[in-house]
Chains A and B, each alone.
Chain A
């Protein structure tokens, strides 16, 4: 059974940093791209970042470019999102998700964690 468990969220001041983690199990982690999607309270979904299975290719939304870094440790089956220079508009529930097809991007994400809440406020 595929399981994704996010952690690392919390309350942080504007300009601060957080690192989110996502522990994956139940599938061959290293052959699937992984994605972060966020959802502000009461709002819709926003795609944040994706990383290839090997970790050598990443893409980021314009809204987080230069501030957020996605990475992974395939030996630990863990996905990360390093978030720097946080802003109030980054406040959201952050979901970790598994890409649908092995070795490919962009074909949707078929498993989601339950999310970790990030609140940016002074």
Chain B
């Protein structure tokens, strides 16, 4: 069982916006601004999409944004595209370690 809780699946149509939640506790997500989000296509290594809650690495589309409220972090993807279909993982710092969420499968309808 993962420390951070994500929905198992979300879906949306092309052009729509979706949000993936990542719920932790006051010992991880709630206490630190060290939340990251990763995208993983089947058979590929993960790709960093968001770090430090809301920062985008260079090269990542501005359709991807991150936020946090209390113990829950969120990844929002706007203007959904077919290539966004993938697994998404959140992670957070907590007491000298990093924990991941269980992952969310995004389906673009």
Q: Residues on A close to B: CB < 8 A? A: 35, 37, 44-47, 50, 59-62, 95, 100, 105-110, 112-115
Chain A residues whose CB sits within 8 angstroms of the CB of B32 once the complex forms: 106
Tell me whether B100 and A44 are in contact (CB under 8 A).
yes
Q: Please state if B91 and A46 are interface contacts (CB–CB under 8 Å).
A: no
B48, CB-defined interface residue at 8 Å: yes
Chain B contacts to A: CB under 8 angstroms:
2, 32, 34, 36, 38, 40, 45-48, 50-52, 57, 89, 91, 93, 96-103
CB–CB B48/A44 < 8 A: no
Whether B48 lies near A108 (C-beta < 8 A) is: yes
Query: Does A106 contact B93, Cβ atoms closer than 8 Å?
Result: yes
Q: A45-B100, A100-B57 are in contact. Are A113 and B45 (CB under 8 A)?
A: yes
B2 contacts across to A, CB distance below 8 A: 44
Given A44-B89, A47-B98, A59-B96: A109 in contact with B48 (beta carbons within 8 A): yes
Q: Are B100 and A108 in contact (CB under 8 A)?
A: no
Partner of A44, one of B36, B51, B97, B101: B101
Say whether A45 contacts B38, CB under 8 Å. Answer: yes
7 contacts between A and B (CB under 8 A): A45-B100, A62-B97, A95-B46, A106-B98, A107-B36, A107-B52, A108-B51
Complex Cα gap A106–B103 (Å): 19
Which of B32, B47, B98, B100 has the most chain A CB atoms inside 10 A of its CB?
B98
Which residues on A sit within 8 Å (CB–CB) of B98? Answer: 35, 47, 50, 106
> A115, B57: Cβ atoms under 8 Å?
no
